[in-house]
Structure 1
Amino acid sequence: MKPKPHSITMAHVSIPKTAGQWKVGGKGGADTLKYSEQPAPEIGDNQVLVKLRGASLNYRDIVISRGHYPWGFKPGIVPGSDGAGIILAVGKHVTRFRPGDKVVTMLNPQHIAGPVTRGISGFGTGASVDGTFRSVGVFNEHGLVAMPQGLTFTEAATLCCAGLTAWNALFGLPGKQVSAGQWVLTQGTGGVSIFAVQFAKAVGARVIATTSSSEKGKLLEKLGVDHIINYRETPEWGSEVRKLTGGDGVDVIVEVAGPISIKQSVASVKLDGLIVVVGSVGSGDAKEMPSLLDCWMNLFTTRGVWVGNRLQMEDMCRAVEGNLEKLRPVLDPKVFSLDQLKEAYEYLESGKHQAKVGIEIE
């Protein structure tokens, strides 16, 4: 049912009649993405109309485009979980925002607080509901967060998935939040890992990072990483981590690579330490992966993280706004426009990027 005209509050800007958008047209990756101009979406009572100005990519987007996303997605979805923009209009029941407010989207718009549930995990922006790779979009007010002041729209968009995942990994488990003086291990220079470095250093923790090349190590040096290990030159880097920490190991590991690295992560973690598994971007022999018994033998905790909830994201956004010098999101130098989305997918999949791949939207 179309809303009545008086039920919508609009900003003092013109409301576009059409929106440019991408849709996933099959299961063949970037080649199946289809761009079109469509009528601007209609707004419901609890929704807001957002002029999107920035977005960023995640490996999740590639997985969805290939039809392999394990939590479900609808055919012909507008992809993209990460977006930031300006509210143009609000429905009559909206109370959290007004026209003109700058906002950031959430990957799990129904995850407001507390632990994730099966229902929440199956409801995702850019998967089960249309996402951010479009010029104008409608979103439920509860799936948005106020954008930190001082950031560009594209910088702010990177907070939605990678930023919140790193924040949850370091601070989301009661009793094991990272604190000053502790050791944190990160892997590579992808979005989650870079955010984890920034957040850990901001609270005074010491960071060891693994990387595949000295070139990528330059970014880690710039961010203040205390020790950098080239895992190609030192494949058994777990023992090196032990040496760097006086034989104890690290307090927290942000595990992004999966089978290719988790054995060394177990060798790196201290007694009563924490390994947070946030992804599996690497490949390797599953037979080399540790078993659950290793948690007992080495007295560490393993925790899986699927992004985070809105309260955590609001905390993170306040922290970023209050410490822009240290916590400004890092974008890959190669930034794409919305009409270059296919090229952006291919660039991310090539692994040539560092930190976040951004999309600027006119």
Structure 2
Amino acid sequence: MSLPTKTTQYSYPELGSYDNLVLSEVPVKPPKATEVLVKTHAVSLQYRDLLIATKRYPSAVLPNLVPCSDMAGEVIAVGEDVKKWKVGDRVCANFFIDKVNDVQTPETDNSALGGAAQGVLTEYRTFPAHSLVSIPAHLSYEEASTLPCAALTAYNGLLCGYEPLKAGDIVLIQGTGGVSIFALQFAVASGATVIVISSSDEKLKVCKQLGAAHCINYKTTPDWHREALKITNGVGVDHVVEVGGNSTLGRSIESVRLGGSIDIIGLVAAPDGQGPVDIIVPVLFRSLKLRGLYVGSVPMFHDMNKLITANPKTTRPIIDRVFPFAEAKAAFAYLQSQAHVGKVVIKL
């Protein structure tokens, strides 16, 4: 089979809106000795992609950026020194292509796809062989594309923190986006009791079907932290998956037990006018564990896939909608609408 010499990809001549995305054809070179050439079959979107598009992301991004970090595809060529991969293998690339252990460095940060490094919204891309992970056999390309950021962040938060989740723990999860749904699934698979908060009763019905024991609509119950305390007989939850940021952190602190864990993974909530949260006193006197997360490593990805493979029904990715490659802007618009439960995927 002759290798492609060109790829069609989306990029940003200028940031400011996802409407600025342009489609173009650029050259593709054969893989170097330690590289793998992959044909992209699916790309999933993150809230991060919207932040980058609108220049709200806190880290620097490349000019003429090819967006998106999460892909699943098929190996079509390998470099002469690559032993692990062969043509036809189904793979995902890790979010950080150079994070081969759990140590975060400026160098690993600079390998973040779709930001500090060129992304994956392209037909073909070469990757370092060390950055790739096999797709669980029971997952489609569309399902597998949701794993590198959303799933791995949820796995890192619940199972790789200061006090890893165990059966019988109580977990409070905010929202029904990609990370939140994976956190729900991994918590259920681990034998935990899950509380989910959302502004939509329809979305909470989906969470019930996925195994959530308790659901709270934070529009009708704005003091959801007090409801969580009632559910736990005043003790508080063991873990909080914090996706709202400054607007929800104060209530998260009030909902967690003494010595409990709050894994901070996002900032999706709109400002609520309360201003910065004073966290020093409650964190100090209640011995809380606050941990910021920035996705995960290649070995962590391998470990997560073991959990997914061992619990295929419970952990199957939830995909809300799949858009064709030609309608990538519509996919971004749908993600921005927050009408989705789970993931939004682009199929190539």
Pick the TM interval, shorter chain.
over 0.9
Q: Does 1:340 align with 2:317?
A: no
Number of the residue aligned with 2:264:
277
> What is the Cα deviation at residue 79 of structure 1?
1.1
Q: Does 1:160 align with 2:137?
A: no
> What is the Cα deviation at residue 14 of structure 1?
4.1
1: CA distance between counterparts of 2:105 and 2:16?
A: 30
Number of the residue aligned with 1:32:
20
Question: Which amino acid in 2 is paired with 1:108?
Answer: F
Number of the residue aligned with 2:35:
47
Number of the residue aligned with 2:303:
315
CA contact (8 A) 1:206 1:225 kept: yes
1: CA distance between counterparts of 2:278 and 2:253?
A: 8
Runs of 4+ in 1 over 6 A off after TM superposition: none
Per the alignment, in what secondary structure is the counterpart of residue 331 of structure 2?
Answer: helix
2: CA distance between counterparts of 1:230 and 1:51?
A: 42
Number of the residue aligned with 2:128:
140
CA contact (8 A) 1:104 1:147 kept: yes
Question: Which amino acid in 2 is paired with 1:107?
Answer: F
Question: Which amino acid in 1 is paired with 2:77?
Answer: A
Number of the residue aligned with 2:74:
86
Per the alignment, in what secondary structure is the counterpart of residue 275 of structure 2?
Answer: helix
Could you list the runs of 5+ residues in structure 2 that have no partner in the other structure? none
> What is the Cα deviation at residue 127 of structure 1?
1.6
2: CA distance between counterparts of 1:57 and 1:119?
A: 24
Question: Which amino acid in 2 is paired with 1:51?
Answer: K
Question: How many percent of aligned residue pairs carry the same amino acid?
Answer: 38
CA-to-partner distance for each residue in 1:120-145, whole Å, 9 max, x for gaps? 12321112322211111111111111
Which deviates further from its counterpart, 309-318 or 61-70?
Answer: 61-70
Question: Which amino acid in 2 is paired with 1:296?
Answer: L
Number of the residue aligned with 2:175:
188
2: CA distance between counterparts of 1:200 and 1:88?
A: 36
Q: Does 1:70 align with 2:58?
A: yes
Q: Does 1:254 align with 2:241?
A: yes
TM-score (norm 2): 0.96
1:117 maps to which of 105, 119, 133: 105
CA contact (8 A) 1:71 1:122 kept: no
CA-to-partner distance for each residue in 1:159-183, whole Å, 9 max, x for gaps? 0000000000001125x10000000
Per the alignment, in what secondary structure is the counterpart of residue 72 of structure 2?
Answer: strand
Question: Which amino acid in 2 is paired with 1:226?
Answer: A
> What is the Cα deviation at residue 288 of structure 1?
5.0
1:220-235 correspondence runs (5 A): 220-235=207-222
TM-score (norm 1): 0.93
Aligned length: 347
Could you list the runs of 5+ residues in structure 1 that have no partner in the other structure? 1-12
Question: Which amino acid in 2 is paired with 1:210?
Answer: I
2: CA distance between counterparts of 1:55 and 1:304?
A: 25
Question: Which amino acid in 2 is paired with 1:193?
Answer: S
